[in-house]
Amino acid sequence: LRRVKVTPFPLTSFILARVISQLLIAIGQAVILTAVGMAFFHLHLSGSLILTLLMIIVGSLAFLAIGFAISGFAKNAETAASYANLITFPMLFLSGVFFSIDSGPSWLQPIAKVLPLTYLVNGLRDVMTRGRGVGAIWVDLIVLLGVFAAAMVFAVRFFKWEARPA
């Protein structure tokens, strides 16, 4: 990082380049998992493969940016991992990944609506299993793009070139 810091490469471009490189890895993983699902587990996509890929890209961008935002204020890698777990695990259980949000208590449903994973899960389900189009997922896409933009601003604002004292 010290070597990159002395170059004329802008910080925003540096973080965006890191997000894009990780995005390419995420897309590769999604393609491999989908191909394995189709080949070995008879996965059938009801909707558009292109819309599925778009949801994966936008969702990956949002969560990669959240990861960079977390690393922006964490003191070290261990702290960043703790913060990421603190955000990720509640989101997994409250966003409808494992069970329907509608079957949860009524006080929990508004909380689920502010979690970005809820929008990714809903968008992917609408496209992959329900065969719906852009008209059904446009809100999900806009929310995830907003999360991406906000997290990127936060990541750039709080990024530090030097390690912080523990």
Q: Give residue 99's identity as a one-letter amino acid code.
A: F
pLDDT of residue 145 exceeding 70: yes
Q: Which pLDDT band, with edges at 50, 70 and 90, does 136 fall under?
A: very high
Average pLDDT estimate for 124-137: 93
Alpha carbon distance 27, 61 (integer Å): 10
**pTM: predicted TM-score of the whole model, two decimal places:** 0.85
Q: Which pLDDT band, with edges at 50, 70 and 90, does 27 fall under?
A: very high
Q: Average pLDDT of the chain?
A: 87
Cα distances (Å, whole numbers) of residue 147 to 27, 41, 45, 134, 163? 19, 33, 27, 19, 26
User: What does the pLDDT read at residue 166?
Assistant: 55
Q: Residue 117 is encoded by which pair of tokens? A: 């994973």
- Who contacts 87 (Cβ-Cβ below 8 Å, separation ≥6)? 66, 70
Dihedral, CA of residue 99, residue 104, residue 109 and residue 114, to nearest 10? -30
Q: Are 90 and 96 within 8 A, CB to CB?
A: no
Instruction: Quote the percentage of the chain above a pLDDT of 70.
Output: 93
Phi, psi of 50 (to 5 degrees): -70, -40
Average pLDDT estimate for 79-108: 86
- Helix 116-128 with 49-73: angle, nearest 10 deg: 170
